[in-house]
Structure 1
Amino acid sequence: MAFSQTAVQLCEEEGTAPMEQFLLKVLRNEMASREQARRARFLREAVFSVYKTLEGFDFASVSLPPALTRQELTSLQFVAAKTNLVMYGPVGTGKTHLATALGVEACNRSMRTKFFTAAELVVRLSEALKEGMLDKLLASVLRADLLIIDEWGYVPVDRQGAQLLFRVIADSYEQRSLILTTNLEFSKWGTIFTDDQMAAAMIDRLAHHGHILLFEGESYRMKHALMRQKDQVKSPWPDGEICTIFLGILA
């Protein structure tokens, strides 16, 4: 919050100590209120699918590369350095949780953040292209300091969709930090994005200033699914035996 030299001079010449203390208190409260409103706005604009925080996140299933410490990750030093993260591993191992929690932390630190699933982003970019609004949408998306694209490669995209995603990756190169969550190894990206060369160009830009985080273990959702809890699945037969049909399928 800036003040003119006249206001500063007036305080110096006519302000008493109690007046200055009161004014300082008012200004600090105003700055805190504005910062809180700014963080709330960034959270709304990020459009997270769920709200997650770093508190209580279990890092046991995550293998960080030697060049990235947990403190560097959670303090968001990678965002300031415009470094990318590719979170790779099976479904349900915490990739989206961690990506979202880092995004929420970024908003709380007054960093602009955007969250999309890859399929959602392709749809929005394709619709904007048809309506002649692609540049406007890209300008909005690429204002972010941190761009999170969830479920990367889960759904195949056509050539136009792949080209639009490539433009996002290319325009973000060395300009902002990207987080991608995926269960698809690099060697298979060409099959999803219709073009091996385009996939290779994406990987090249992501990897140049990037880290891979490996997620392992059992799916959290399957581990805690109600259908796997025997007291939740009762047999419809009179003898009251536990029905194991669904449990066998899930095992």
Structure 2
Amino acid sequence: MADSASDARLRACGRAVMLSNHAMGDVAGDHSDAEKGAISRMPGAELAFRDSNRRRRLPERANFPVPRTFEGYDWSAVRLPPRLSREDVTTCAFVRKARSLVLFGPVGTGRTHMLVAMGTVARSMGMRARHFTTTEPVTLLSEAKRDGTARKLMRSPEGTDLILVDEFGYVPVDRDGARLLFQVIDASYERRSLAITTNVDLSRWGAVLTDDQMAAAIIDRVAHHGQLVVFEGESYRLRHALMRSS
């Protein structure tokens, strides 16, 4: 005999919380439609609770330096490439296509603000985002080597939808740090999105990484499915500095 609508609903709810059809079939056979309706609401409530907890934990795991959104964002210094619209950025549409962005320009022109705002949007949509500065991998790697968790660190991007790399080029990266950055980017290639802020032209990344071959390999992967967002003009902080009025 075919399942009733209440049986089908009950089985679907069971699958959502990873209960077998066999277990839910036993329940369906022993209860009325009204009872099955009440039972099916329990997995729904559990799923809503899990989703709420997951969304609450996302900001902590994202490691954002400060909260940022696109509300009131000043786009006057931003030059987008032809195939990337403002909506693509503000809705994180590029993340769903596993594309990457390089946010290039001088300090104080809104690159990090955009980076974190994109992460905030991704998080609000249930995506997983992770932010770190370029110097963090070096510290993390040295700690991981000491406590024997280096292999786990190399796998850390797995399960992430958007990796946000901030301040690339501010300080040189040693070979171990460059290797870790390459492995993160290589593991992400065509699987997840990267967004990188930098004040260094791509042609000079070899000097930052102290390894031209490593830089070429990183650029090759970032550029293949990536787009360049250029930031121009004077630093926002300098334009609004209190020191200027004194």
State the partner residue of 1:141.
157
Q: Distance in 2 between matches of 1:63 and 1:80?
A: 22
Structure 1 residue 122, shift from structure 2 partner: 2.0
Written as runs of structure 1 = structure 2, the 5 A alignment for 1:46-195 is 46-195=62-211
Contact 1:122 1:165 in 2 (8 A): no
SS of the equivalent of 1:59 reads coil
State the partner residue of 1:218.
234
Letter paired with 2:154: L
Letter paired with 2:13: A
Contact 1:156 1:193 in 2 (8 A): yes
State the partner residue of 2:13.
2
Q: Distance in 1 between matches of 2:102 and 2:217?
A: 15
Q: 1:213 to 1:8 in 2, by over 3 A?
A: farther
* Runs of at least 4 residues off by over 4 Å: 5-11, 22-33
Q: 1:30 to 1:202 in 2, by over 3 A?
A: same
Structure 1 residue 202, shift from structure 2 partner: 0.6
Q: Distance in 2 between matches of 1:7 and 1:65?
A: 57
Q: Distance in 2 between matches of 1:207 and 1:27?
A: 44
Q: Distance in 1 between matches of 2:158 and 2:107?
A: 28
State the partner residue of 2:34.
15
Q: 1:30 to 1:226 in 2, by over 3 A?
A: farther
Structure 1 residue 139, shift from structure 2 partner: 1.9
Structure 1 spans left out of the alignment, 5+ residues: 234-251
Q: Distance in 2 between matches of 1:55 and 1:101?
A: 9
Structure 1 residue 132, shift from structure 2 partner: 2.4
The Cα RMSD (Å) is 2.3
Output the TM-score relative to the length of structure 2.
0.83
Structure 1 residue 30, shift from structure 2 partner: 5.5
Q: Distance in 2 between matches of 1:93 and 1:7?
A: 60
Residues 16-73 of structure 1 deviation map (CA, whole Å, 9 limit, x = unaligned): 8xx95x8888776655443332111111111111111122212221111111112222
In percent, how many aligned pairs have the same letter?
47
SS of the equivalent of 1:44 reads helix
Letter paired with 1:62: V
Structure 2 spans left out of the alignment, 5+ residues: 1-11, 15-23
